[in-house]
Amino acid sequence: MLCLRQILVVVLLGMIAMLSGCRLDMHVQPRVNPLAKSDFFPDQRGARPLVEGTVARGDLRADTYFYSGKIGSNPGDYMPFPVTKEVLERGRERFNIYCAPCHSALGDGNGFIPSRGFSIKPPSYHTARLQKAPLGHFYDVISNGFGIMSDYSAQIAPRDRWNIVAYIRALQLSQNATKADVPSGQNIPSEPPKFLGEPGSGATLPVIAPSNSGSEEQR
Ligand code: HEC
């Protein structure tokens, strides 16, 4: 007579046999692997272009100024969204990553790459021509490149391009500020910070001594 254990083994084997019957259907799915050949379409390409006249969800780009920096075919001179401290901080961060290696952190064109023999030195942003250039021009240069400078459309999303544009304008203002632009109660050049102990070795950060308030006003 079969003992309980043997019955269990037989039942289990039966279940495995039944389940493995479904296996093939689930594994061979009627789909095309990315970029694979397909016999279904006349051009035999599995990857299909967008259907003409359709727009992918969330990709309408109805705000043409935001995506081109242009009004008609001319560059516009306004920001498509309000400039806040966060916008400028993000712009500075992106600028220092993508632009400063050539244009320098100041935007004067003396970046590290030109210092090592890049064929054309980038122009300074602080020339009269670029100071007057509309904001849309900077957006266009980032999106489409300029002369030998390649475009950054793949690396920098539209909103970040505008953030950088706002920061470039701030850089331009910073290099041409007069005493009248400085809020009252502050001096230029500002007092260098005083350090507690040794001013950092490079591996350690310097500790800045707290300034005694009011000392700026007396000078
Ligand atoms: C690899 C070096 C390099 C990087 C990185 C770079 N640029 Fe340039 N840029 C150049 C050079 C070189 C020129 C001059 C091109 C020419 O005249 O052919 C230039 C020109 C420009 C100009 C001047 C256009 C004009 O009207 O004269 C602007 C504005 C500019 N770049 C913005 C940017 C911004 C913004 C970034 C970062 C997103 C950036 N560049 C990144 C090298 C660079």
Does the Cβ of 149 fall within 6 Å of ligand 1?
yes
CATH number of the CATH domain containing 119: 1.10.760
Going from the Cα of 150 to the center of ligand 1, the distance in angstroms, rounded, reads: 8
Q: Which of 176, 154, 177, 152 is nearest to 165 (CA)?
A: 152
113 close to ligand 1 (CB < 6 Angstrom):
yes
Report if residue 129 sits inside a domain: yes
Domains contained in the chain, number: 1
Looking at the domain assignment, is residue 113 inside a domain? yes
- Let me know if residue 122 belongs to a domain: yes
Distance 156 CA to ligand 1 centre (A): 14
100 lines ligand 1 (CB under 6 A): no
* Helix/strand/coil percentages in the chain, nearest 5: 40, 5, 55
pLDDT in tens, 77-127: 999 999 999 999 999 999 999 999 999 999 999 999 998 888 889 999 999
In this prediction the pTM is 0.72
Report CA(12)–ligand 1 centroid distance (Å): 70
Does any domain span residue 144?
yes
Name the residue range of residue 123's domain: 107-176
Specify if 41 maps to a domain.
no
